[in-house]
Amino acid sequence: MNILILSAGTRNKVVRYFKEAVGEEGRVIATDCSNLAPAVYEADKFYLVPRITEAGYLEQILDICKKESVDGVFSLIDPELSLLAKEKEKFLAVGTTPVISPYELVETCFDKYRMYQMLCEMQIPTGKCYIDKNDFYQAVERGEISYPVFVKPVRGSASININKVFGSKEIEVLFDMYDDLMIQEYMDGTEYGADVYIDMVTGSCTSIFLKEKIKMRAGETDKSVSIKDSALFAMLEAFVEKCGFCGMIDIDIFKINDVYYISEVNPRFGGGYPHAYACGVNLPAQVVKNLKGESNSRTIGDYKEGVCMMKYNETMILDMNGRELVK
């Protein structure tokens, strides 16, 4: 069993987890556009590749899949997920299965307003969103929403260009500065994260790990504590199965006045996944089992509550032996 991890970057732990999952009978290959990406040195082999926007990128990845007899491939960065989903048949043609949800669903996840519309259609609570600032102003006048609110890109990640604003003057400035913005209701409640796995063989949700977020940094969870909630388990299980998600996904949720609101869905490993893994929620093992054509058993909530994650900085020191540094 050979696994290819694209755009490995600094996700060293994910590479280690997959090496443990494939064992001695398999290999983990990693790629990145920089040879200063520490995670690639955890892999059994790595390839330095162009940026995903450069011509010939897809062909080079497909060549790696053929050369290394890759069974499954996934990416750790958002921009590459749509490429994997869109070109799924090309990967299957060379014997490699992309671990990714359907293309249209991936695109919906990355378009925050489309996700808002989908959640509303499914009658799942979510924060109000507006792409027309005049519609928002009218909603304020009707008392349907109030300041503060968030102004953010319709498509974006890692909390880039997200601003908490307290009045129309700030909104006008931001809308003049940037294109494709939306206004989102400020969710003032307890924030949770969910690491979820949907079996690629059966389409059933097999794992959900819940954590209460204690501290955030640059859009990722910095400190968290594991929790369990049967109502939230049931809500998320029904949601992901009805939508048709596949593989590992990361969901952001808010709890306000005992009501759960889904905020965002990321169709990939979340940055806080090591918390789930340390609690025994082994998604890489489920991926490997699915790639063998075997289904996973349902283990939702099978972990201990009250376990805390606290991120800290680690450093890799490597003698590059005079090699050119690709930044």
Q: What is the CATH number of the domain that holds 44?
A: 3.40.50.20
Sheet strands (E) in the chain: 2-6, 27-32, 45-48, 72-75, 97-98, 129-130, 149-153, 163-165, 181-185, 190-198, 205-217, 220-227, 247-256, 259-266, 308-310
- Pick the last residue of a domain from 51, 85, 100: 100
Residues 72 and 135 in one domain: no
d(CA 325, CA 5): 21
Residues 221 and 284 in one domain: yes
Q: Would 294 be classed as within a structural domain?
A: yes
Residues 59 and 89 in one domain: yes
pLDDT of residue 159: 55
- Pick the last residue of a domain from 170, 185, 200: 185
- Pick the last residue of a domain from 185, 210, 228: 185
pLDDT of residue 158: 53
Residue 1 has pLDDT above 90, yes or no: yes
d(CA 57, CA 63): 10
Residue 243 identity (one-letter amino acid): C
pLDDT of residue 157: 61
What is the helix (H) or strand (E) element at residue 111, kind and residue range? Answer: none
Task: Say which range, 46-55, 228-237, 258-267, 313-322, has the weakest mean pLDDT.
Answer: 313-322
d(CA 195, CA 270): 7
Residues 142 and 180 in one domain: yes
Residue 294 identity (one-letter amino acid): E
Instruction: Give me the sign of the Cα torsion angle 133, 135, 141, 145.
Output: negative
Mean pLDDT (whole number) for 215-219:
77
Q: Would 239 be classed as within a structural domain?
A: yes
pLDDT digits (tens, 9 = 90+) for 245-304: 999 999 999 999 999 999 999 999 999 999 999 999 999 999 999 999 999 999 999 999
Q: Would 171 be classed as within a structural domain?
A: yes
Q: Would 115 be classed as within a structural domain?
A: no
d(CA 147, CA 270): 30
The conformation of residue 144, written as its DSSP 8-state character, comes to S
Task: With CA atoms as reference, report the closest residue to 76 among 121, 28, 112.
Answer: 28
pLDDT band at 216 (very low <50, low <70, confident <90, very high): confident
Residues 171 and 285 in one domain: no
Q: Quote the number of domains for the chain.
A: 3
Residues 304 and 212 in one domain: yes
Q: How would you classify the pairing of strands 247-256 and 190-198?
A: antiparallel
Q: Would 119 be classed as within a structural domain?
A: no
Mean pLDDT (whole number) for 64-92:
97
Task: With CA atoms as reference, report the closest residue to 243 among 135, 107, 131, 142.
Answer: 107
Neighbours of 12 (CB within 10 A): 20
pLDDT of residue 221: 85
Residues 46 and 93 in one domain: yes
Task: Say which residues have a Cβ less than 8 Å from residue 229's Cβ, sequence separation at least 6.
Answer: 210
What domain range is 252 assigned to?
188-310
**Number of helices and strands (H, E) in the chain?**
11, 15
pLDDT of residue 160: 64
- Do 275 and 311 form a contact (C-beta atoms < 8 A)? no
